[in-house]
Structure 1
Amino acid sequence: MPSPTPGNQPDVAQATEQLAAEEARTGGTRRRSAWRLMLPTLTPWLAIGLFLILAIALFGTIGPFLVGDPSVIRDIGLTGPSSEHLLGTTQTGQDVLAQLAWATRGSLQIGLLVGVLATILSAAFGIYGAYLGGLADEGFSLLSNVFLVIPGLPLVIVIAAFVPREARGWWTIAIVLAITSWAGSARVLRAQTLSVRSRDYVAASRVAGERSWRVITVEILPNLLPVIASQFVFAVIAGILSEAGLSFIGLGSSNSATLGTMLFYAQNGFALSLGAWWWFVPPGLMIALFGMGLSLVNFSIDEVIDPKLKNVRLHRKRAKRIRRLEEAARS
Structure 2
Amino acid sequence: MSSTLSLDTDAPSVAPTAARRSIAALLPSPSPKLIVGLAIAAVIILWAIIGPLVVGDPNAISTLAFAPPGSHGHLLGTTQTGQDVWSQMAWGTRGSLIIGFTVGVLATVLSALFGVLGAYIGGGVDEGFALFTNVVLVIPGLPLVIVIGNYVPQSQRGLFLIALVLAITSWAGSARVLRAVTLSVRNRDYVAASRVSGESTWRILVVEILPNLIPVMASQFVFAIIFAILGEAGLSFLGLGASGTFTLGTILFQANNDLALTQGAWWWFIPPGLVIALFGCALSLINFSIDEIINPKLRNSTRSQRRKWGLTPAQIKRLEEENVK
Matched, 1:169 2:137: no
Structure 2 gaps, min length 5: 1-16, 316-325
Match runs of 1:37-56 below 5 Å = 37-56=25-44
Show the counterpart of 2:248. Answer: 259
Q: Deviations over 1:86-134 (max 9, x none)?
A: 1000000000000000000000000000000000000000000000000
Match runs of 1:239-250 below 5 Å = 239-250=228-239
Match runs of 1:165-244 below 5 Å = 165-244=154-233
Amino acid at match of 1:45: K
User: Per the alignment, in what secondary structure is the counterpart of residue 62 of structure 2?
Assistant: coil
Show the counterpart of 2:11. Answer: none
Structure 1 gaps, min length 5: 1-28, 326-331
User: Per the alignment, in what secondary structure is the counterpart of residue 65 of structure 2?
Assistant: coil
CA distance in 1, matches of 2:217, 2:292: 14
Show the counterpart of 2:7. Answer: none
Matched, 1:126 2:100: no
- CA gap of 1:318–1:282, structure 2 versus 1, over 3 A, is same
Tell me whether 217-226 or 76-85 shows the greater mean CA deviation: 76-85
Tell me whether 82-91 or 312-321 shows the greater mean CA deviation: 312-321
Matched, 1:82 2:70: yes
Q: Deviations over 1:268-311 (max 9, x none)?
A: 01000110000000000000000000000000000000001011
Show the counterpart of 1:64. Answer: 52
CA distance in 2, matches of 1:252, 1:310: 40
Amino acid at match of 1:143: F
Deviation at 1:149, TM superposition (A): 0.8
User: Per the alignment, in what secondary structure is the counterpart of residue 140 of structure 1?
Assistant: helix
Show the counterpart of 2:312. Answer: 322
Show the counterpart of 1:13. Answer: none
Contact 1:100–1:283 (CA under 8 A) maintained in structure 2: yes
Q: Pick from 254, 278, 290 the counterpart of residue 301 of structure 1.
A: 290
Match runs of 1:269-284 below 5 Å = 269-284=258-273
CA distance in 2, matches of 1:301, 1:116: 17
CA distance in 2, matches of 1:271, 1:171: 29
User: Per the alignment, in what secondary structure is the counterpart of residue 221 of structure 2?
Assistant: helix
Matched, 1:73 2:61: yes
CA distance in 2, matches of 1:219, 1:324: 42
CA distance in 2, matches of 1:178, 1:101: 24
The aligned length equals: 297
CA distance in 2, matches of 1:37, 1:319: 18
Contact 1:88–1:96 (CA under 8 A) maintained in structure 2: yes
What value does the CA root-mean-square deviation take over the aligned residues?
A: 1.8
CA distance in 1, matches of 2:103, 2:292: 24
User: Per the alignment, in what secondary structure is the counterpart of residue 272 of structure 1?
Assistant: coil
- CA gap of 1:48–1:241, structure 2 versus 1, over 3 A, is same
CA distance in 2, matches of 1:99, 1:79: 15
Deviation at 1:79, TM superposition (A): 0.5
Show the counterpart of 1:33. Answer: 21
Deviation at 1:318, TM superposition (A): 6.0
CA distance in 2, matches of 1:222, 1:188: 16
- Among the aligned pairs, what percent are the same residue? 63
CA distance in 1, matches of 2:20, 2:231: 42
CA distance in 1, matches of 2:309, 2:215: 28
Amino acid at match of 2:267: W
Amino acid at match of 1:322: T
User: Per the alignment, in what secondary structure is the counterpart of residue 286 of structure 2?
Assistant: helix
Show the counterpart of 2:5. Answer: none
CA distance in 1, matches of 2:201, 2:246: 43
CA distance in 2, matches of 1:133, 1:324: 50
Contact 1:31–1:37 (CA under 8 A) maintained in structure 2: no
CA distance in 1, matches of 2:140, 2:239: 20
Tell me whether 146-155 or 291-300 shows the greater mean CA deviation: 146-155
Tell me whether 124-133 or 79-88 shows the greater mean CA deviation: 79-88
CA distance in 1, matches of 2:164, 2:57: 28
- CA gap of 1:31–1:171, structure 2 versus 1, over 3 A, is closer
CA distance in 2, matches of 1:214, 1:192: 18
Tell me whether 187-196 or 209-218 shows the greater mean CA deviation: 209-218
Q: Deviations over 1:161-206 (max 9, x none)?
A: 1112111101000001001100000000000000000011111111
Deviation at 1:323, TM superposition (A): 3.7
User: Per the alignment, in what secondary structure is the counterpart of residue 87 of structure 1?
Assistant: coil
